[in-house]
């Protein structure tokens, strides 16, 4: 990755959930923080998300799900990344996620889960501090 | 000296006194402005309502422009319908929740469908994985619908169904269940949401593009006018627009603009406005700015009455009445200190009642954490019952009318909503405005502004950006949907396909396809397909083949 390149984030709504207020607000906040954000729109399969992340050369995948399907969808994305040998993309999740599901999602490789009420600055900070690829701006 | 002149002098004295106080102690904020950008004055007086004409602006309950109420006795006659949106897992489990709610004193049912059902996929579709039975009940065929209403005589409940893109199919299933129960269609009462236009900017459960969707909607209007006359054929919804982040004014404006598009589409399809006008209903959000919300409901009633009478030439007063369901604001709930949500919901519910809602859903305190548990649902329902039976706010109609503040706010919300409607008209109406992305952009900007206000501490959310606690108490007993629900649905689909008359199904689907390619009303062939035991997915796929699927542009 080249010095000074903007952090590239692929924002995605996996599954059928149509609640996209949160992800759109986060897209706007990340853009304001100087990142480059590609939002996939609704109804993405895990396969589509992984393909888009690779095609867009994303440093970060940020997924949002408020329908309760996160356990299947988020872990499936991690599984597909692993199958393709991709280990340097930081993957984040958000939505209505019960406490008890968080350890499982983290064990699958989701770096952090952000729930309702999260300050967008906290997400910006988390991305900057935990980026797996180096030297991004 | 005339009274207003006297008041002007008093006001001048008051302003002078205020100026002195401000020198010593400034107010909490430099400017007080509500979510819709309306400046809030320090105090309201008759000076704010100069030239305001009671008869023109309000009338009496049940009289044009229906600002005070659509019905002459309002809550003195009957309370609003207490209707909790519910549905999860399989039809059997949801049916048990309905029996529980009806036993707890709920007076109407409100069906939540899972996302695959709402988007016209059977439970065994690839895109349904992980979603079956999650945010609502999974319905694949008439079999599921029969189990959903087992033991509930359909002539004795009113049923609201939150279904949009595949609305015609679900409504047909409901009609088929009624037929099996021996209930004539004209005894059925209820509502289907059937409001596709808000799905593009807000809720996301579209299948087809706006134009074929408008045809399905007008087909339902036409069919129900003839055969299901007590049914509310649409619930034109601002709720989700608000949840997506709009302001109160935008909620009214975009909802009524969508309403105008539906009325125009039905007229263009050859119907008379007074044939279908009385069966249109609305659905609004009730958020936390108490007075703004009350004024919003009153402004919406007046604005719709004027639109129907003046723009569309309605003659029947029932066509001019804006009847609405309200749900408290899900987006106002916090995951932090969740019990506080009970209070938020109570204030929002009270605003809806003071605004004259016809039915109400109160949110459960645990909804920022999971699907609502039974205890949380019960507290939510009890909140409504306390307002109705204990607070006496329902004993006189529209009790806040005549408040200088409420009336000024009502006027301003109406005027600002009208400005938006004019702008949308100039763009060619709601469909064109959505296709241009205008509505989406307006909502997103408001949502982002709201979030920034919270993050900058300009907007206080108790427990979130002020009065936080270190150790959060964890709520107990969150609802979990058994992942085996999907397996059970899929097994049932296999059984269905093995036992039904597949030739009859193919014939019904072929007839539906031919009808869709022409311009006939699609309700009769959909009803025939449902009765042949074609699945929801099969019926929607047949329509997809003719209408195509809507693709939202990435951004």
Over residues B52-95, the pLDDT tens digits come to 999 999 999 999 999 999 999 999 999 999 988 887 788 999 99
Nearest to B474 among A28, A40, A99 (CB): A99
Asked whether residue A135 carries a pLDDT value surpassing 60, the answer given is no
Q: Is the pLDDT of residue A136 over 50?
A: no
**B42: pLDDT confidence band, cut at 50, 70 and 90?**
very high
Which of B243, B444, B455 comes nearest A24 by C-beta?
A: B444
Element (H, E) at B282: strand B280-286
Average pLDDT on B327-345 reads 96
Q: Which two tokens stand for residue B210?
A: 């706006």
Segment B356-372, tens digit of pLDDT? 999 999 999 998 888 78
Which residue in B509, B537, B539 sits closest to B132, CA to CA? B537
- What's the rounded mean pLDDT across residues A108-112? 98
pLDDT average, residue stretch B272-296: 97
C-alpha span between B429 and B173 (Å, rounded): 33
Residue B19 domain-assigned?
Answer: no
**Helix B167-181 vs helix B523-531: crossing angle, to nearest 10:** 60
Residues 6+ apart with CB under 8 A from B162: B85, B110, B111, B112, B113, B118, B136, B193
**Distance (Å, rounded) from C-alpha B438 to C-alpha B432?**
9
The domains of chain A, with CATH numbers, are 8-130 (3.40.50.280)
Q: How far apart are CA A49 and CA A121, in angstroms?
A: 24
- The 10s digit of each residue's pLDDT in B98-122 is 998 889 888 789 999 999 999 999 9
Cβ proximity of B455 and A121 under 8 Å: yes
Evaluate if residue B482 carries a pLDDT over 90: no
Nearest CA in chain A to B443: A21
Give the pLDDT of residue A3: 55
Token look-up 């299901």 returns: B228
Asked if the structure places residue B32 within a domain, the reply is no
Q: What's the whole-number average pLDDT of chain B? A: 95
Q: In the predicted model, what is the mean pLDDT of chain A? A: 93
Of B127, B336, B369, the CB nearest to A98: B369
Residue B74, sorted as left (phi over 0), alpha (psi -120 to 50) or beta, turns out to be: left
Whole-angstrom distance, CA of residue B437 vs CA of residue B451:
21
Q: Cβ separation of B368 and A71 shorter than 8 Å?
A: no
Contacts of B126 in chain A (CB under 8 A): 45
Q: What was the pLDDT predicted at B443?
A: 96
How high is the pLDDT of residue B552? 77
Mean pLDDT of B183-199: 97
Q: Residue B493 domain-assigned?
A: no
CATH number of the CATH domain containing B166: 3.20.20.240
Confidence of residue B1 (pLDDT cuts 50, 70, 90): low
Task: Return the residue matching tokens 């949160």.
Answer: A22
pLDDT band of residue A5 (cuts 50, 70, 90) is confident
pLDDT at B554: 59
CA–CA distance, B365 with B356 (Å, rounded to integer): 24
> Do the bridges between strand B280-286 and strand A8-12 make them parallel or antiparallel, or are there none, so unpaired?
unpaired
pLDDT, tens digit, 9 for 90 and up, residues A37-75 = 999 999 999 999 999 999 999 999 999 999 999 999 999
Rounded Cα–Cα distance for residues A36 and A39 (Å)? 10
Domain count, chain B: 1
pLDDT band at B538 (very low <50, low <70, confident <90, very high): very high
B357 and B326 in contact (C-beta within 8 Å)?
A: yes
- Is the Cα dihedral B511, B512, B514, B518 positive or negative? positive
Tell whether B46 is covered by a domain. Answer: no
Write phi, then psi, for B473 (nearest 5 degrees): -80, 130
Region B214-230: mean pLDDT is 97
Q: Chain B contact for A34, CB < 8 A?
A: no
Binary contact (B368, A98; C-beta < 8 A): no
Boundaries of domain holding B285: 54-455
What integer pLDDT is reported at residue A1 of this predicted model?
46
What does the alpha-carbon distance between residue A43 and residue B129 come to, in Å, rounded to a whole number?
A: 12
- The residue of A13, A96, A117, A124 whose CB has the most chain B CBs within 10 angstroms, and thus the best one to mutate to test that interface, is A117
**Residue spans of beta strands (DSSP E) within chain A:** 8-12, 36-39, 60-65, 90-95, 112-114
- The contacts of residue B84 (CB under 8 Å, 6+ apart) are B101, B106, B110, B361, B362, B377, B380, B381
A115: helix, coil or strand?
coil
Instruction: Please check whether residue B1 lies inside any domain of the structure.
Output: no
The DSSP letter of residue B309 is: I
Could you list the beta-strand ranges (E) of B126-243.
158-161, 189-192, 231-232, 234-237
pTM: 0.94
pLDDT-derived band at B454 (thresholds 50, 70, 90) equals very high
Which has more confidence, B113 or A5? B113
- Cα B90–B192–B70 angle (5° rounding)? 135
- For the cut 90, the answer to whether the pLDDT of residue B274 exceeds it is yes
Q: Cα(B309)–Cα(B315) distance, rounded to whole angstroms?
A: 7
Asked whether residue B11 is assigned to any structural domain, the reply reads no
- Per DSSP, the three-state class of B234 is strand
In this complex, the residue of A27, A42, A116 whose CB is nearest that of residue B368 is A116
Structure tokens at B425: 């008209």
Instruction: Tell whether the model's pLDDT for residue A137 goes beyond 50.
Output: no
Nearest-Cα distance to chain A for B325, in Å, is 21
pLDDT at B43 over 90: yes
Is B109 part of a structural domain of the chain?
yes
Domain assignment of residue B111, yes or no:
yes
Q: Give the CA angle between residues B542, B544, B550 to the nearest 5°.
A: 170
The pLDDT confidence band at residue B176, using thresholds 50, 70 and 90, is very high
């Amino acid at each position: 990755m080249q010095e000074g390149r903007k952090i590239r984030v692929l924002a995605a709504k996996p599954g059928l959930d149509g609640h996209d207020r949160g992800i759109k607000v986060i897209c706007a906040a990340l853009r304001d923080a100087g990142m480059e954000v590609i939002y996939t729109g609704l109804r993405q399969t895990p396969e589509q998300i992984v393909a888009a992340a690779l095609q867009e050369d994303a440093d970060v995948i940020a997924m949002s799900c408020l329908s309760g399907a996160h356990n299947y969808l988020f872990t499936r994305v991690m599984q597909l990344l692993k199958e393709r040998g991709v280990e340097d993309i930081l993957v984040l999740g958000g939505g209505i996620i019960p406490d008890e599901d968080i350890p499982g999602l983290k064990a699958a490789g989701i770096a952090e889960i952000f729930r309702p009420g999260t300050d967008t600055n906290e997400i910006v900070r988390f991305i900057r501090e935990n980026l797996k690829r180096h030297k991004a701006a | 000296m005339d009274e207003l002149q006297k008041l002007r002098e008093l006001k001048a004295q008051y302003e002078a006194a205020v100026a002195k106080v401000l020198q010593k102690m400034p107010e909490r904020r430099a400017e007080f402005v509500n979510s819709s950008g309306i400046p809030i004055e320090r105090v309201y007086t008759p000076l704010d309502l100069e030239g305001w004409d009671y008869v023109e602006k309000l009338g009496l309950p049940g009289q044009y422009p229906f600002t005070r109420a659509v019905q002459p006795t309002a809550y003195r006659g009957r309370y609003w319908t207490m209707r909790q949106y519910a549905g999860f897992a399989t039809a059997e489990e949801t049916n048990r929740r309905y029996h529980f709610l009806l036993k707890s004193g709920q007076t109407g049912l409100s069906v939540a469908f899972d996302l695959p059902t709402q988007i016209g996929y059977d439970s065994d579709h690839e895109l349904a994985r992980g979603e079956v039975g999650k945010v609502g009940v999974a319905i694949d065929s008439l079999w599921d619908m029969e189990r959903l209403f087992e033991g509930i005589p359909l002539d004795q409940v009113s049923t609201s169904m939150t279904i949009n893109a595949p609305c015609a199919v679900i409504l047909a299933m409901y009609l088929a269940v009624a037929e099996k129960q021996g209930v004539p269609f004209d005894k059925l009462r209820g509502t289907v949401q059937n409001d596709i236009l808000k799905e593009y900017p807000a809720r996301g459960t579209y299948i087809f593009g706006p134009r074929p969707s408008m045809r399905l909607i007008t087909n339902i209007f036409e069919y129900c006018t003839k055969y299901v006359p007590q049914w509310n054929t649409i619930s034109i919804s601002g709720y989700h627009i608000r949840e997506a982040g709009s302001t109160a004014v935008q909620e009214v404006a975009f909802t009524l603009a969508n309403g105008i598009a539906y009325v125009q589409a039905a007229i263009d399809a050859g119907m008379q406005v007074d044939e279908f006008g009385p069966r249109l209903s609305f659905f609004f959000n009730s958020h936390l700015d108490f007075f703004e919300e009350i004024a919003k409901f009153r402004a919406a009633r007046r604005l719709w009455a004027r639109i129907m009478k003046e723009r569309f030439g309605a003659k029947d007063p029932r066509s001019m009445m804006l009847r609405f369901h309200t749900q408290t604001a899900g987006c106002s709930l916090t995951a932090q200190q969740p019990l506080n949500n009970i209070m938020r919901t109570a204030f929002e519910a009270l605003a809806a009642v003071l605004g004259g809602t016809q039915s109400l859903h109160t949110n459960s305190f645990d909804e920022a954490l999971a699907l609502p548990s039974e205890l949380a649902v019960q507290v939510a329902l009890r909140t409504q019952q306390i307002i109705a039976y204990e607070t006496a706010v329902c004993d006189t109609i529209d009790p806040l009318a005549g408040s200088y503040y409420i009336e000024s706010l009502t006027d301003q919300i109406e005027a600002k909503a009208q400005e938006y409607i004019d702008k949308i008209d100039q763009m060619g109406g709601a469909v064109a405005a959505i296709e241009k992305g205008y509505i989406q952009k307006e909502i997103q900007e408001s949502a982002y502004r709201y979030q920034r206000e919270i993050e900058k501490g300009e907007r206080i959310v108790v427990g979130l950006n002020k009065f936080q606690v270190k150790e959060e108490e964890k709520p107990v007993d969150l609802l979990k949907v058994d992942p085996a629900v999907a397996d059970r649905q899929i097994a049932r689909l296999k059984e269905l396909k093995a036992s039904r008359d597949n030739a009859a199904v193919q014939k019904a689907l072929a007839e539906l396809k031919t009808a869709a390619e022409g311009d006939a009303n699609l309700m009769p062939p959909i009803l025939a397909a449902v009765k042949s035991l074609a699945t929801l997915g099969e019926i929607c796929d047949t329509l997809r083949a003719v209408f195509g699927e809507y693709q939202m542009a990435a951004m």
